[in-house]
Each structure stands twice: as structure tokens, then as C-alpha cells.
Amino acid sequence: MKTITYNSLQAEQAWMIVSDQLQQRNNMLAKSISHMERNPSDLPMASRLIMLRYHLKMSLRQLTQEARQQKKTTKQDNRLAEQWMHVHQLFFLLRQIDSELGRATMENTILRSWLESLEGRVYRSALVHLN
């Protein structure tokens, strides 16, 4: 029987927030790639964003697989700690993606202008919720 505690609910909410943020970054990368592919001179940046998106997807796959394996072998007492570790790993991935996307945005004025034209809510930080 699984006991639900306030701490486990907090960890679950943090996981949902960081997962939502990662999904938003994935969607934004997909749209950015499509936008950059329209102009042949922006294909190098589109390639860079494709690599970033690939890194995001593969890292998520690996972290999720590791979390599932740990869940099977972890005792009930350690599950909350394992869940928080997974949340922090996802958050670290989010910060990596944000950092690389920020760097790409600073280097490419077309990408920067296009992202600035999007709604501000699409690109928000999860820092407040996870600290």
C-alpha cells in the first residue's frame, strides 16, 4: 500500500511542473526549427536546434528509463528521495536546454526576433516552483 504524504505530493507537483516546462521547450524547439528551415541561410542554426532537440529527447528517455528501473528496486522509504533526485535531474536538463537556446538566440537575430514575437507565457522559467 502506498502512503500519500504532503512531501510526496510536493515531489509529484514539482515533477509535473518540470515535465510541462520540458514539453514547452520541445514544442518551442520544433517551431523554431520549422521557422529557421524556411530560409537557406538559417539552416546551420536549424541544424543546431535539431541537435538540441535530439539531446532533450534522448536525455529524457534515459532519465525516465533510469527512474523506472530505480522504482522497481527502491524500497518505500527511499522512493521520495529517488523521486526528488529525478525531479532535480529533469530540472538540470531544463537549465541546459534554456542555456543553449539562450546562446543560440543571442547569436542569431532572426531567431531572437521570432522568439520575441511569440507570447511571453510560452517561455517561462520553472525556477520559482522548484526551489
In sequence order, what DSSP letters do the residues of 53-72 get, joined into one string?
Answer: HHHHHHHHHHHHHHHHHHHH
pLDDT in tens, 57-91: 999 999 888 888 877 776 766 888 888 999 999 99
Residue 25 and residue 94 in contact, taking contact as beta carbons nearer than 8 Å: yes
Q: Is the pLDDT of residue 126 over 50?
A: no
User: What pLDDT score does 123 carry?
Assistant: 46
Q: For residues 3-30, give the mean pLDDT.
A: 90
pLDDT in tens, 29-47: 999 999 999 999 999 999 9
Closest to 94 (Cα-Cα) out of 65, 118, 123: 123
Closest to 55 (Cα-Cα) out of 101, 124, 121: 101
Give pTM, 2 decimals. 0.81
In sequence order, what DSSP letters do the residues of 15-39 get, joined into one string?
Answer: HHHHHHHHHHHHHHHHHHHHHHHTS
